[in-house]
Amino acid sequence: MAYWEQFPTFILNGVALGMIYFMIAIGLTIIFGMMGVINFSHGALYAIGAYIAYTMTSLIGNFWIALLVAPAVLFVIGVGEYFLLRRLEGADPVYQLLLTFGLALIIQELVIVIWGTVGKPLSIPPLFRGMIDFGPFTYPKYRIFLIFFTGVLAFLIWLAIMKTKLGAMIRAGTEDSEMVSCVGINISRLFIIVFGVGASMAGVAGVMAAPLVGVEPFMGMSILIISFVVVVVGGLGSYSGAILGGLLIGVIQSVFILLLPAVAAVVVFAFMAIILILKPQGLLGKS
């Protein structure tokens, strides 16, 4: 099959991959924007979401319950992370990095203790098995569902951030958290919500990605690296940047898998380096 015939499939693959990256990156970018914390444990939360999907599907055979349970569980874990990090408030930021990195390793080892080192397969929900015929090409139903579901979720989050009072406080906190606190807003409560929602999004990403990539203990660390690339490319603290960065990185990665598989693993880092040289704050970030 010629490259041009496969191109639409790989573009859609990139969009699906990019939306998963976005769901992880949005938590990273908002947490960093408000608290200045680079959360190295965020990838481990993604892995927990995937393992919750595997466990729920194995026990009760229902993928959709996992899609409800995982965000709730991860919200609680995210809140717990916040209270741990709050104890280091005012300390050298290096200690926050070490704490989140340590949490990532602890979660990873707990996953190995509970589920073992061997990867677990997860079947695609029966409703979305098979292909959709688009004429020139066919495409898996589940990936179409993933793009649609995450797109709707991204739009709802955008509405919440841009059109609600809570969203206005979060945006203000991202700009200047000290000023928000000075005008009487409970910044600690805001931080709790942001950490919890960010963790929930990572959990949703894990559930949605699990039928495509499988479930294994080290999946969190590998996707965390790419997620940081997304955040840097899009711009730290920028919601729109997280979407744009996720889609760009996903499509670039997917297209190079088609055209030049040997360099697909490194091309996104080269792209990040170019962006940093030309625009150090990221595509939609502020100086």
Quickly count: other Cβ atoms within 10 Å of residue 211's Cβ: 23
Q: Which amino acid is residue 62, in one-letter code?
A: N
> For the chain, what is the domain count?
1
Residue 285 domain-assigned?
no
b/e sequence 49-64, b meaning 16+ C-beta within 10 Å: bbbbbbbbbeeeeebe
Ramachandran angles phi, psi of 173, nearest 5°: -65, -35
| CA 84/CA 78 separation, integer angstroms | 10
Model-level pTM?
A: 0.89
Range of the domain at 64: 12-220
- From first to last of its 287 residues, the chain has per-residue pLDDT tens of 555 667 888 899 999 999 999 999 988 887 777 777 788 889 999 999 999 999 999 888 888 898 999 999 999 999 998 888 888 877 777 888 899 999 999 999 999 999 998 888 888 988 899 998 887 788 899 999 999 999 999 899 888 888 888 777 777 776 666 776 777 777 778 888 888 988 999 999 999 999 998 899 999 888 888 988 999 898 877 778 889 999 999 999 988 888 888 888 889 999 999 999 998 888 887 76
Residue 199 domain-assigned?
yes
The number of CA neighbours under 13 Å toward the Cβ of 59 is 9
Residue 283 domain-assigned?
no
Residue 272 domain-assigned?
no
